[in-house]
Structures are given as structure tokens and as C-alpha cells.
Amino acid sequence: MSTEAITKVEQAAAAGKLTADTPGNVKDWLSKDCVSQYHGRILELINAEEWAILDELFWTTIPFGTGGRRGPMGELGPATINDRTIAESAHGLAAYLRKSGVTEGGSAVVTSDTRNNSPHFARLTATTFAAHGLKVYLFEEPRATPELSYAVRKLNCDIGVMISASHNPPADNGFKAYWSNGAQVIPPHDKGIITEVENAGDIPAMDYDQAMAAGKIELIGPHIDTEYVNEVVALSQTKNRDISAVFTPLHGVGETSIYKILQQADFDKVAIFEDHRVQDGNFPNVPKHLPNPELLEVFDPVIDWVKQNNHDADLILASDPDADRLGVMVRNSEGGFTAISGNQTGALITDYLLFKRKAAGTLSNSDYVVETLVTTPLVQAVAEHYGAKAFSELLVGFKWIAKTIEENGADHFVFGCEESIGFLAGDYCRDKDGAIGALFILELAAELKAKGKTLLDHLDELYIRHGFHAEGQKSIYCTGPTGKAKIDGLMQTLRDDPPTQLGPIRFVEVADYSTGKRTGLPDGKSLGSIENPRGDLLIYKSDPAAPVRINIAGRPSGTEPKIKFYFFCQSDLPGGEDLNQAKGAGDSVMKEVQDALGEWADQQLG
């Protein structure tokens, strides 16, 4: 290690030019022989006093969050996704597998989406696994995350990896780790993997061509594709296919899963949007190059095309690059398109599937649906209407829905959903799948169309039955090396000095899923404890007797530099009938509360 270089780093840190964990991480990398190939470049940056670049590369170590490990790609350093951090991730997963009981042999399946460097990172992961003695099944071409989950189960693998950053910007990539049940890793596995990653020194390596020649890596493709598609299509609930739609994969892998499944299911009036069809990690034709179906602007090019071509589309569907999530827009009464949220889509499909079971005489009081704590309570209300169970006390992340399925068995599992447009049914995989969401929402839309109705009409019917429900989100971003400290500080303020009122809404309780305490507001009286689940999540509950009720959930994101707030509004229908009045009251109060929260956060952050 260069003493002169370390002195310069320490001087830069003292002058405030290096922040957070950068000095320690730089010293750590310079002291390790296992990353000696990067020493020259690090010294070059130090000597050139490129402190901003060093900060970006070394300010933190990318952790495993709700979606695995995800972040900006970079040439080196623990704060970016690069060859070393990918190899560390693969090594950590394999090393933990060995310590968890699979002491020899074992197998893994690996694939990637269409992001820049994804196929390269997938090969690097595969060769690292092969060097650990695992038999590796590697998809020949990019595939969807849910097909990876399916393949883990179908091939009886011990672990799986998806190289993807989901809906993040083009500069990002990531590493999603899966366990033998086909679900993303959960405690204690995630913590065990991280320990192995942190202890990584020299990482076993193997040449790709040699691994292929030795049979340690086997390419897979068409047969798994066919079986996956068949299993999803087999879940169809109706033969009605009279619906027109346009689907955009946003330059991702959605054509290989969602569009292929819809074609096999005989939805012959679903067209693919050509401008977004080519697989391209730069997402060139997506507005702002942000391939996130939750951002309504991604639909704008499709809507323009529909208008210009007088297309008769009833729906527009969009999937993110790894095709595990699905956004939906519905043609409205004015001829334009209205987005339906993940919460609304989840409630609609829940009602559809339970209605079908009831009509078929197969509905059981053991049937159940699963949602997270930040998903709409309308799903639970729909389930209870049919006499089904609803598991809703789950932390954010589809892996917890998968865990609930494992604990309760798949025989009576009806549907799982989360607000971030994630959906699952059946027993074929253990992660969200845009394909199953597309299949069911099109089937429901087709059945409604036959009755002269739309999905929007049916939503209103659910609101009349269960009361008006509306949901919203607001994210407070704190980027850069100081971002984590700001996020931690704001979360601590939310715990120590919680707001008791925002706009017209008064809060009467806060549930802290980190400390396991329920506390009355504003008196601070204990209202009991929370045994499970436990995680960094706060939920503020409003007066249950108020005609308009808004609960708020807040949590730090596991994959992005922000605190994410979720708003849940319920508005009573006067006389049980005046839906428009209930909508107006709910939407108005929701906006006031969201604005008030933004002002409160700005004050706290200075």
C-alpha cells in the first residue's frame, strides 16, 4: 500500500473532499491483494485528485435490499456494480450455500435481462459458481425474472441468479439472488450471504470455454421456455378473448414471456409496440430512458401511436426490462386512456379469481390471498367478501409473499400482489410475474366487455361494495454520499417526534415495525406490541371514525436512495350510494396530506 497515497486520502477526507465510508473503503481495497488488478487505477485517481470520482466508487458498499443488490455500474469500487462486486456476490452466495449444508455438488441457474453488461455479468456469475463446484444452467439468451424463478424449481437447483436492475435507469445493474424454492433470499440467508461477500478475498475463477467443455456449465433455453409458457397459460380462467390491446416490453425481455404467453393463450388482438420491441439496455425510445411502467410517461409513445393509427385498443400493457411487473392503462369513456394502479389491478384480479372460484363451486374458506403492508386494504376487503383469507401483515418485497405461500401451501393460494405492480398466481414460480397479471387482466377485461363494461366500471362497482379506496405515493430522495445519513436521520425523526397531524388528518396511532411497538398519538401511550413482521417500516393510522381516513406508511428503500411514503385513503359513501362525492372528498384530502408531508420533510431536511 502506498503511504503517500493514503496520506493524500486522509488529507482529502479532512478537507471534506471525501465523505461517508470512502476513505476506509479506499484503504481497504489498496491493502488487499485480491483486488490488486485495480490498484493502479485507484492510485491514478488519487494522484489526479479525482475525489468526486473516488467518492462515487467507494462511498458505500452496495447492500442486499428487498430486490437483491442493485446500483450504478462502475469500473471498480464497492459502491458500484462491476466485475468484482458481481463476482463477490456470486462467491458469497456459493460460499454460503456450502455452509448451509450443500457441502459438495449442487446446482444453480443463471440468466439476465437486456441491460448493458447483463450477459457479461451472467457469464461471470456462472463461471464463479462453476469454480465453486456447482453445476450451472445458463440461459442462452436474456429471459424474464419469473422464468428464472420457474427454472430454479423445475431444474431442482439449490440457488439461482438474475442479473437485472429491474426498472432502474440504463446506468444501473444488479444481482438478484434466489434460493431453492425459487424465491428471492430472505433472512437468515441474505445476512449469511452478505457475511460471505464481506469476507471475500481471492475468488475462485474458471474460464468460460473450459467450464462449457467440462460440462460444468450447460446452456438451456427452448424446453424451459415451452414448459414455463405452458404452465402460465394453463391458469387461464375463461375462453373469452374478445379484447384489443397493445403491449410494450420497453426494450426488455417481455416479448419472450408476456407476449409469447398471450399469443399462446389466443389473444390474437394484442399487438406489440414495435418502437419498444428491440432489446436494448439503453431504452432508447422510452421517455427519459426510464423503463418503469409505474411512470405514466412510458405509455405516451404508445398512446400517440394508437391515436395516429386509429387503433381500437381497449388496453395498453407495459412491462419493465425483466418482465416481472406489469403496468395497465384502460380506454376511458372520453376515448383517452386512464392508468389503473398496481393496487387497483391487484384488487380487480383478486375479485376476478375469487368470483370464478365461487361460480365454479370450488371456493373454500381455506383459500387465501397475500399482500404486503403497503398494498391496498381493498384486496383484503374483496377477499373477506368471498369468505377467503387475506394475509396482509407482510413487509415490502415479493419474497415475503413467497414465504407466506411456502408456509401455508400452494393448494389454496389464489393470488398475491403488491402495490408496485407485482402479481402472482399458481404454483409455477415464487416471484412476481407480469405475464400472469397480463393474462388475468385481459381475461377480466374481455368478460366485462361482453357485458358492455370496462375495468374502470368494475372498479366503481368494487368501491360501491367496499367504500372508495385510493392510494398514492411520495418519495423523498437523498442522493450521494451524504444521502444515507439524511435518510437515517429522517427515519429517526419520524420515530422520535412523529407528526400527529398532516393537513386535515389527525393520526391516533403509529406502528413501528422496527421496534415492534404500537404507540398512541399524541399521548405516547403504549397500544401493544408487534411480534411479526419486523423491519424498518412505520405506519401512521388516522381516526377510524372519520368519514375520510388516510393511513401513511414510510420506509427507506432497499434499492434506491430515498424514503418512500405510501398513502391509503378510504372514504365513506354517503347513504351507501354517492360514489362521486366519496371520490371527491377522498382525492381532495389525499392531496392536502401529501402536500403537508412534503412540507414537513423539507423542514426536517433543512
Phi, psi of 453 (to 5 degrees): -120, 165
> The cell 430486490 sits on which residue?
67
Do residues 129 and 110 lie in contact, with contact meaning Cβ atoms separated by under 8 Å?
Answer: yes
- Give, in degrees to the nearest 5, the angle at Cα 389 between 384 and 391: 115
Could you give the CA distance from residue 75 to residue 79 in angstroms, rounded to a whole number? 10
Helix (H) or strand (E) holding 118: helix 118-131
Do residues 517 and 56 lie in contact, with contact meaning Cβ atoms separated by under 8 Å?
Answer: no
Long-range CB pairs of 268-271 (<8 Å, 24+ gap) are 268/241, 269/241, 269/242, 269/243, 269/244, 269/245, 270/243, 270/244, 270/245, 270/246, 270/317, 270/442, 271/245, 271/246, 271/247, 271/311, 271/313
Could you give the CA distance from residue 228 to residue 136 in angstroms, rounded to a whole number? 19
Question: For the chain, what is the total number of helices (H) and then of strands (E)?
Answer: 20, 24
Give, rounded to a whole angstrom, the gap between the first and last alpha carbons of the chain: 40
Reading the block at residue 347, the C-alpha cell is 384488487
Do residues 279 and 142 lie in contact, with contact meaning Cβ atoms separated by under 8 Å?
Answer: yes
Could you give the CA distance from residue 462 to residue 193 in angstroms, rounded to a whole number? 44
Could you give the CA distance from residue 315 to residue 328 in angstroms, rounded to a whole number? 7
Residue from 183, 188, 173, 180 nearest 145 by CA: 183
Could you give the CA distance from residue 578 to residue 572 in angstroms, rounded to a whole number? 9
User: Does the active-site annotation cover 166?
Assistant: yes
Q: Which residues contact 469 (CB under 8 A, 6 or more apart)?
A: 343, 347, 376, 377, 378, 381, 463, 568, 569, 570
Q: Is the dihedral of CA 402, 404, 406, 408 positive or negative?
A: negative
Is the preceding omega at residue 188 within 30 degrees of 0, hence cis? yes
Could you give the CA distance from residue 376 to residue 103 in angstroms, rounded to a whole number? 43
Could you give the CA distance from residue 418 to residue 346 in angstroms, rounded to a whole number? 7
Out of 149, 166, 244, 392, the active site residue is 166
Could you give the CA distance from residue 495 to residue 519 in angstroms, rounded to a whole number? 10
Burial class of residue 15, CB neighbours in 10 A (0-12, 13-18, 19+)? exposed
Could you give the CA distance from residue 392 to residue 32 in angstroms, rounded to a whole number? 46
> The cell 471475500 sits on which residue?
200
Q: Which letter does DSSP use for residue 62 in this model?
A: P
Q: Residue 133 to residues 119, 152, 282, 602: CA-CA distances in angstroms?
A: 21, 17, 35, 52
Do residues 137 and 107 lie in contact, with contact meaning Cβ atoms separated by under 8 Å?
Answer: yes
Phi, psi of 71 (to 5 degrees): 180, -175
- Which residues participate in catalysis according to the annotation? 166
